[in-house]
Amino acid sequence: MLKLNTLQINVAQLLKSDIGTTRAYVVEEEVDIAGKSRMVHGEVKLTRSDRSILVKGRLHLEIELTCSRCLSVFGYPLSFDIVEEFLPKIDISTGHALPPPEDDEAFTITDRNILDLIEAVRQYALMAIPMKPLCRPNCTGLCPVCGCNLNRGACSCPPEPIDPRWAKLRELISADNKTLMNEREGMK
């Protein structure tokens, strides 16, 4: 397995190889993800197919996210699998241009036979970011009155008065809690 310090791989020899030929690489490079440079590392395997090069791999990086409950910035380890086809622009044996891919958003190999993984990695990383990131699973968020981060301790806001329409429900919950506590005491 070759180690690369770049996500731009010259695949001229692989394009000349037989169908099914593979090359495995360990990659490590900084990539711009959401406006910040992040170190991406992992392994990728390139496989020659009849019309392209198939890239499969597992990549890792750490990004900074903002918690959706308490608004704290925290480091988040991100791992994702990449599976993508890269189509050549020129025929490697003749040097003639190949017809452009039907899909305008298909990844291509440059005229100089460089397979550039940077954009694919950026897209996969952005899709792997959680929609509502949490700094921890039990994040308590912010006080809706004063904005205090409740993960750091209770705030000094007085408790909100209970809507009288919910008073009966509160009595039921209190009664259930007392019954439950009495049952637990009786089990000891």
Q: List, for residues 45-72, the tens digit of each pLDDT value.
A: 999 999 999 999 999 999 999 999 999 9
* Number of separate domains in the chain: 1
Taking phi over 0 as left and psi of -120 to 50 as alpha, with beta for the rest, 141 belongs to left
Structural domain for 7, as ranges: 2-128
Query: Is pLDDT at 180 greater than 70 in this prediction?
Result: no
State pTM to two decimals.
0.76
Tokens standing for 70? Answer: 């308490």
How many helices (H) and strands (E) are present in the chain, helices listed first? 3, 8
Residue 38: inside a domain, yes or no?
yes
The per-residue pLDDT for 1 is: 73
Tokens standing for 188? Answer: 């000891």
Single out the residue of 30, 80, 19 nearest to residue 54, CA to CA: 19
Residue 121: inside a domain, yes or no?
yes
Residue 163: inside a domain, yes or no?
no
Per the prediction, the chain carries an average pLDDT of 88
The per-residue pLDDT for 108 is: 93
